[in-house]
């Protein structure tokens, strides 16, 4: 075997690179700086004596060598996580439960795949959804009613509750293609005055737009509710108002030109999602794996 500088972190980097298509996105995904990845890759490339991907293309294209190592990375990751799951299940006796509390509707878009994958990999862990959309899902964790809560922004630390960053996303304004505001490059809070905000039937302070964008500016548009994302988009498309949703949840509709998306504010509205877990369980392999699955979007 060749003594190689190839480490697990490099494999993670390669996979993230392939998944995100860019150095900076990949860096975000693995929670390091772009600089770190640049260093990593420079080292790898100098060792193999060949570039691993072409820079300056979007998305980046792997070279033959890069593609081969990427394939290796995927194989190794798969094997590794499988082995570690097995070991973890033997050690823990296989039991456990995972009661998930969610405060936002759109979260289900990415929660479902993660839960599906989880059920398959941890058949012995009881997976439940704590029903209803609690205003304070974190308190459900605190009181022992839930084992996992998805919360917005970095929450204040609470004793007995461990926090872990999940990922960040941008929430964008969704408008009909014919809406007058669709001409602008980005929307200001004032643009919402006099408009109708179409959203899920939840409290004001649970909406990213309101909490971080409209409320600080003192703007309070009319509200209209819909339960489902598609329903919201229907209303938007027919000019009944503006919505504000996570960019990824409307990706498919945007590509079809069904509606258009505009950044909220000049630099967009970025939101962070965190997981809250009981400190006593936070180290459990199945919980860590659940977090990892969410981060990977699978």
Partner DNA sequence: ACTGGATCATGAATTTCTCTCAATAAAACC
Partner DNA sequence: GGTTTTATTGAGAGAAATTCATGATCCAGT
Q: Would you tell me which residues interact with a second copy (CB under 8 A)?
A: 1-4, 6-8, 48-50, 64-65, 68-69, 71-72, 75-77, 79-81, 83-88, 90-92, 285, 288-289, 292-293, 296
Dist. CA 291–CA 76, nearest whole Å: 20
Considering only the stretches 33-41, 163-171, 213-221, 280-288, report the one whose residues sit in contact with DNA under the rule CB under 7 A.
33-41
Query: Please, what's the b/e burial string for 156-192 (b: 16 or more CB within 10 A of its CB; e: otherwise)?
Result: eeeeebbbbebbebbbbbbbbeebebeeeebbebebb
Instruction: With beta carbons less than 8 A apart as the criterion, state whether 163 and 142 touch.
Output: no
Dist. CA 164–CA 67, nearest whole Å: 32
Given 56, 93, 157, 218, the residue binding DNA (CB under 7 A): 56
198-227 positions binding DNA, by CB under 7 A? none
76 binds, among DNA, a second copy, none (CB under 5 to 8 A by kind): a second copy
Q: How far is the CB of 242 from DNA (least distance, A)?
A: 22
Dist. CA 194–CA 165, nearest whole Å: 36
Residue 260 bridge partners (DSSP): 175
Q: How far is the CB of 60 from DNA (least distance, A)?
A: 6
41 is a site residue for DNA (CB under 7 A): yes
Return the closest-CA partner of residue 166 out of 246, 26, 276, 15. 276
Q: How far is the CB of 182 from a second copy (least distance, A)?
A: 41
Given 16, 23, 100, 282, the residue binding DNA (CB under 7 A): 23
Instruction: With beta carbons less than 8 A apart as the criterion, state whether 236 and 174 touch.
Output: yes
Q: How far is the CB of 28 from DNA (least distance, A)?
A: 10
8 binds, among DNA, a second copy, none (CB under 5 to 8 A by kind): a second copy
Q: Which residues contact 71 (CB under 8 A, 6 or more apart)?
A: none
251 is a site residue for DNA (CB under 7 A): no
34 is a site residue for DNA (CB under 7 A): yes
24 binds, among DNA, a second copy, none (CB under 5 to 8 A by kind): DNA
Half-sphere exposure (CA, 13 Å, Cβ side) for 188? Answer: 4
| Sign of the alpha-carbon torsion through 210, 170, 163, 78 | positive
Return the closest-CA partner of residue 295 out of 142, 99, 114, 172. 114
In the block, residue with structure tokens 């929307």: 187
Q: How far is the CB of 76 from a second copy (least distance, A)?
A: 5
289 φ, ψ (degrees, to nearest 5): -65, -40
Toward DNA, which CB reaches closer, 22 or 92? 22
| Sign of the alpha-carbon torsion through 176, 181, 184, 190 | negative
Q: How far is the CB of 27 from DNA (least distance, A)?
A: 7
Toward a second copy, which CB reaches closer, 164 or 182? 164
Given 24, 50, 80, 168, the residue binding DNA (CB under 7 A): 24
- Residues lying near DNA in the complex (CB under 7 A) are found at 5, 7, 9, 22-25, 31-36, 38-43, 55-58, 60, 267
């Amino acid at each position: 075997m060749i003594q190689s500088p190839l480490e697990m972190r490099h494999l993670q980097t390669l996979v993230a690179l392939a998944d995100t298509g860019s150095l900076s996105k990949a860096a975000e995904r693995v929670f390091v700086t772009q600089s770190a990845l640049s260093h990593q890759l420079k080292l790898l490339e100098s060792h193999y004596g060949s570039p691993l991907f072409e820079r300056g293309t979007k998305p980046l294209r792997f070279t033959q060598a890069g593609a081969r190592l990427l394939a290796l990375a995927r194989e190794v990751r798969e094997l590794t996580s499988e082995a570690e799951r097995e070991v973890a299940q033997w050690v823990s006796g296989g039991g456990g439960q995972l009661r998930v509390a969610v405060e936002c509707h759109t979260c289900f878009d990415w929660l479902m795949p993660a839960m599906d994958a989880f059920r398959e990999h941890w058949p012995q862990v009881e997976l439940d959804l704590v029903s209803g959309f609690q205003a304070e899902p974190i308190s459900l964790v605190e009181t022992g009613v839930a084992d996992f809560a998805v919360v917005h922004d970095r929450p204040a630390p609470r004793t007995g509750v461990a926090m872990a960053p999940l990922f960040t996303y941008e929430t964008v304004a969704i408008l009909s293609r014919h809406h007058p505001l669709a001409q602008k490059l980005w929307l200001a809070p004032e643009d919402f005055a006099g408009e109708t905000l179409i959203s899920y039937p939840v409290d004001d302070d649970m909406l990213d737009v309101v909490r971080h964008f409209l409320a600080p500016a003192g703007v309070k548009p009319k509200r209209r509710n819909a339960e489902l994302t598609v329903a919201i988009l229907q209303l938007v498309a027919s000019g009944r108002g503006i919505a504000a949703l996570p960019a990824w949840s409307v990706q498919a509709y945007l590509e079809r030109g069904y509606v258009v998306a505009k950044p909220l504010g000049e630099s967009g509205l970025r939101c962070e999602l965190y997981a809250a877990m009981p400190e006593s369980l936070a180290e459990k392999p199945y919980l860590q794996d659940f977090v990892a699955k969410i981060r990977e979007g699978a």
